Chain A
Amino acid sequence: MTSRPGFVLEVDRSTPPILMWHGNSYRLERFPKGARILYPPEPQEPIKDPKSAIAQALESPTGDSKPLSALLHKGMRLVIAFDDVSLPLPQMQAPDVRQMVIEAVLEKAAEHGVDDVYLIAALALHRRMTEGELRHALGARVYDAFHPRKRLLQHDAEDPSNLVDLGTTEHGEVVEINKLAAEADLLVYVNINLVSMDGGHKSVATGLASYRSIRHHHNVKTMVHSKSFMDMHNSELHTSNWRMGRHIASQGVKIFQIETTLNTDTFPKPFEFLSKREWEWNLKDRTAFIASSTSLQASPDWISRDIMHKIRSPYKLTGINAGEVEAVHAKTLDKVFSQQLVNVEGQSDILTMGLPFVGPYNVNSIMNPILVYCLALGYFFNMYIGKPLVRPGGVVIISHPNKAEFDPAFHPSYIDFYEQVLTETTDPKEIEKRFEESFANDPWYIHLYRKGNAYHGVHPFYMWYWGAHALDHLGGVIILGGDPKATRRLGFQPASTMMDAIEMAKSVVGPDPSITHLHSPPLVMAKVI
């Protein structure tokens, strides 16, 4: 059976209330007549035999590249870099696609007598993965074979002894990446492309880079000119990464890129109603919704969070391409778009979205207000090609409790950013100018990033820049059900009901506004015509 495509539903009086994420829980919201709901396409059929598909991809590469077995020889150093815990979301059911691909690569390497193998988690400035997370991503076999030998490493963007300066691009961007990876005879990058932003040259040029290098594209100017991050042809972020990637290749770093795409089968059986269309919910789905939403809402936050973060997605492999970076990425993008893209006619005055419990930066952790901001304005807002779903000067309504709760182990610099920076200003340019340097070079944050499991000191700044394009574009942001104090700290307005939020939005966009709701899960991208 083929999966049904996504579509835009116009709300009429027979339209049921629509499911909306609200942090660790979800609820049903009724939309006014005439509002548009953007329903995602259904998950695509997975590859029936992933093992042979992986083997096939490694041996019949895309673009100007030899097959993997022709690149392997005795006595060489092989480095396998892989995407970190921020992908996929939520974490997928075992076996993780990284495990499947890395095992296939290792088997080939063993067959060709390659003894000198390192595995590196491409963290960039993200937190180090925990043992449990590494075991989950790579599988116990790989972990137990490489970790005790100190051959399973996590990229350290602040370790001068393991970084190499490859010079600058024609635009003067410093290219500094992981030394082990740069000097290896072959660097195999194993990627998961959950959204179109991931992959391509960004994998190595960002994932294995240092702060000195990343700052050239993770800044307000680049972000404001990335319209959107999901559309690499109109994204300054990608243009910069592509320049760096090509420079890395020109410096003799040999990269064999393996990119995988997953379908959007996000929730396991007990929660499968979340991905269904409301009028197709059967008795079991409705019972599951009532029981789970009631109990999640009644539970303390730490319990509901714990339950939700224990969800493992039944994602399945829909495509794998290997070989030369740019040729591989072009194929990957086609696959991602075929899964996620829906055509939408015209922009609207108001865009509404429910935010889930997890974003790329709070896996097994708390979604703090800065991450709420980033997920909404950085990610969901940018899920478009062409024009944003909301018109310039429009309003975004976000549904999330937005409590001022932080994880001190994972997000220490976020706490200070929230207390020291956001109390002064919310303007990304001013924040960048006045505060970035001191946070980025703070020795304590660097220490926590290198030795603990903390995000880099500069990471909350990047989160803020991530939403700079949306802030530039929008006339206002309202957080439905958001904690009033925390919401105002972000520079937004809190509202208690959807009707209130729409009324408040009217003061910005005028009476009788058009509304579009981004229905999630699963992931959906809009091609706004």
Chain B
Amino acid sequence: MSKELPKITKVLSEFPFRRAKVPGTLPVERYKDPLGTSFDTEWARKYPIRLLRALLLDNLLRPATKLIASPEVYGLDRVNDLKGPLIFASNHASHLDTPLLLCNLPERFRHRCVVAAGADYFFDRRWKSYLWSGLLGAIPIERNRVNRRSAELSTELIRKGWSLLIFPEGGRTQDGLGQSFKGGVAQLALKSGTPVVPIYLEGTFEILGKNSERIRPGKTRIVFGSPIDPTDKDARNLTKEIEAAVAVLSREVHDNYWDAQLARYQDEHLSLTPKDRGSWIAEWNRSAQAPKRHTSPKWPRYFGSSKKT
């Protein structure tokens, strides 16, 4: 039986050809590891860096995302009048999500916002830690288990007046479909008493999905929902409520506002995650509707054959 050989580029990009990542489950108290959740991002919130970041965001990233993702923003009126720090919770499909959302947040929040980023992915190397905390104001969040340091840092920043942009799914979707929300956002909201603004983001998976090799410019839609007040709620229900709110926003742009509102009260399974996820039949049906991609290389075409097709 022939065995498929792994791609040489993949082999070269992995351990031992590259340095191994520090395992997220490492008992950190024994190590003074300056990376991961221990990385100090305080420097990135100092005034000169914020100014630099604001300049970059408004003059470089904003036009760039506009060019690549042509965002259409809905529901801004729901957040325009809000004051104080907020937690923005969005579904997550692409690396493009963070700059796109940051550039399209209302100006009042845009320049005083930190982004929750996976400590094991964005803060595993020194250069990455500095790049993401400096460029996007990212803070390291432990996404595989409960980490007191992550939680305390986020709460402290919210209390100081910083808004937080977070992706409760805990990572980018593999297949473009939604994933169930993790409980961290609800915990944060309850602990800090901050309202959560649900955001539905669409179109970034097609532009730069998890397994995409290049950017394919396209159109995106960002829908802001009404803030959810966490007062007198428990974490489990709040998580469900945030997930349902994002699903309602998705219906709002696909169907209409009224149907979405009806679904909000009538549909018991309100989630971006389809019920039949994992079934091959559902996947097969969905693949028929997916946009076609030309994956054959541009050059050399017909290599080894004189026949033109």
Contact = CB atoms under 8 A, between A and B. Distances in A.
| A and B physically associate | yes
B19 A286 contact: yes
Contact of A16 (B20, B25, B120): B20
B13 to A, nearest CB: 13
Contacts of A283: 19
B27 interface: yes
Find the residue from A4, A10, A14, A286 having the highest chain B CB count within 10 A.
A14
A5 interface: yes
A279 B21 contact: yes
A7 B24 contact: no
A290 B20 contact: no
A410 B46 CA distance: 72
Contact of A9 (B16, B23, B124): B23
A14 B19 CA distance: 12
Label chain B's interface by main secondary structure. Answer: loop
B15 interface: yes
Interface string B1-44: 00000000000000111011111111100110000000000000
B212 interface: no
Interface in A1-44: 4-5, 7, 9-17, 28
Contacts of A279: 19-23, 26
A113 to B, nearest CB: 54
Interface residues of B, number: 18
Contact of B144 (A4, A12, A290): A12
Contacts of A10: 25
Interface residues of A, number: 21
Contact of B16 (A4, A13, A290): A290
Nearest to A290: B16
Nearest to B30: A4
A281 interface: yes
Contact of B23 (A4, A5, A11, A28): A11
Nearest to B22: A279
A26 B19 CA distance: 18
Interface string A464-476: 0000000000000
B27 A7 contact: yes
B24 A290 contact: no
12 contacts: A9-B27, A10-B25, A13-B24, A13-B144, A15-B24, A17-B15, A28-B15, A279-B19, A279-B20, A279-B21, A286-B16, A289-B16
Given A14-B21, A279-B22, 10 more contacts: A4-B30, A4-B31, A13-B24, A16-B15, A16-B21, A278-B20, A279-B20, A281-B20, A286-B15, A286-B19
Interface of B: 15-17, 19-27, 30-31, 120-121, 124, 144
